[in-house]
A = this chain, B = another copy of it.
Amino acid sequence: MELLNQHVSIRKFKTQPIAYSLIESVIYSGTKASTTGNMQLYSVVVSETPEVREKLIPHHFNQNVAKSAPVLLTFVADFNRFAKWCEISSANPGYDNFLSFFTAATDAIIVAQNVCVAAENLGLGICYLGTTIYNAREIVKVLNLPKLTFPVTTLAIGYPDEIPGRTDRIPLRGIIHKEKYKNYSGLDIKELYSFKENLESSKQFIKENNKDYLAQVFTDVRYKKADNEFFSQKMMEVLREQGFLM
């Protein structure tokens, strides 16, 4: 519990490599998590060599965390392996559709989170790279991902070379709904986000970005409507290219 509660993302790693047996061991713990119908609809690509990492990093927008990590783990929603098993078993796979993609994506994300917990338990640090879905097409190419696979997230992983402070969270009552969803009033929202808005780091963030409100940093700088729409369309196209929207 303490391990989970003390999680903090690491964005700066030591150059020290990770023993391959450790990488196997954390992925092993990943595969022990629940998986839909015990189909194990995922693969994990372990990229350690500079050659491959250097090809991946631009598609993670050259973030320092991606450059710093000695290992990049790409978590792949994978119906390819299962469909191949069907084909050699006189069974007709019907997984070239959106539901199957989402099912495999869920499986892969569950594995990723178990890998995080296992890695932190061994003194490693991790950071999710959400950029994976933005540039799935390019990552598919670098990693030779076949039809019926799709990269859903990436973990940068290594030995921490920083001790970041814990990140703020909104109060738990803002997350939990009893019995049914209770929608938020303006006042609810104001209360839930006031702690975050009043952090020194938030005020700094607003100032640096020349905004009036913290939320504007998200909508106007970090997660913009035009970008979201551009990458939504691209992601759909890649889902089609990968055979998940037949």
| Contact A218–B144 (Cβ < 8 Å) | no
Expressed in whole angstroms, the minimum distance between the Cβ of A228 and any Cβ of chain B is 5
| Contact A189–B81 (Cβ < 8 Å) | yes
Interface residues of A in 210-228 (CB under 8 A from B): 212-216, 218-220, 222-226, 228
With A99-B232, A228-B100 given, is the CB distance from A52 to B190 under 8 Å? no
| Contact A236–B24 (Cβ < 8 Å) | no
CB closest chain-B residue, reference A178: B46
Q: Which of B46, B51, B97, B176 contacts A24 (CB 8 A)?
A: B176
Interface residues of A in 26-66 (CB under 8 A from B): 27-29, 31-34, 36-40, 42-49, 51-52
Bound together, the chains give a CA A128 to CA B121 distance in angstroms of: 24
Q: Which residues of B contact A84 (CB under 8 A)?
A: 184, 186, 189
Interface flag for A68 (CB, 8 Å)? no
Bound together, the chains give a CA A128 to CA B105 distance in angstroms of: 14
Interface flag for A179 (CB, 8 Å)? yes
CB closest chain-B residue, reference A28: B172
Q: Which residues of B contact A218 (CB under 8 A)?
A: 37, 39, 82, 86, 91
| Contact A169–B32 (Cβ < 8 Å) | yes
Q: Which of B6, B34, B113 contacts A7 (CB 8 A)?
A: B34
CB closest chain-B residue, reference A114: B4
Interface residues of A in 61-117 (CB under 8 A from B): 76, 80-82, 84-86, 88-95, 97-100, 102-103, 105-106, 109-110, 112-114, 116-117
Interchain Cβ contacts under 8 Å between A and B, 15 examples: A1-B122, A32-B169, A37-B130, A37-B222, A37-B223, A39-B223, A46-B178, A48-B178, A81-B189, A89-B216, A90-B213, A90-B216, A91-B218, A95-B223, A98-B232
Top 4 A-B pairs ranked by shortest CB distance? A94-B225, A89-B215, A89-B213, A113-B113
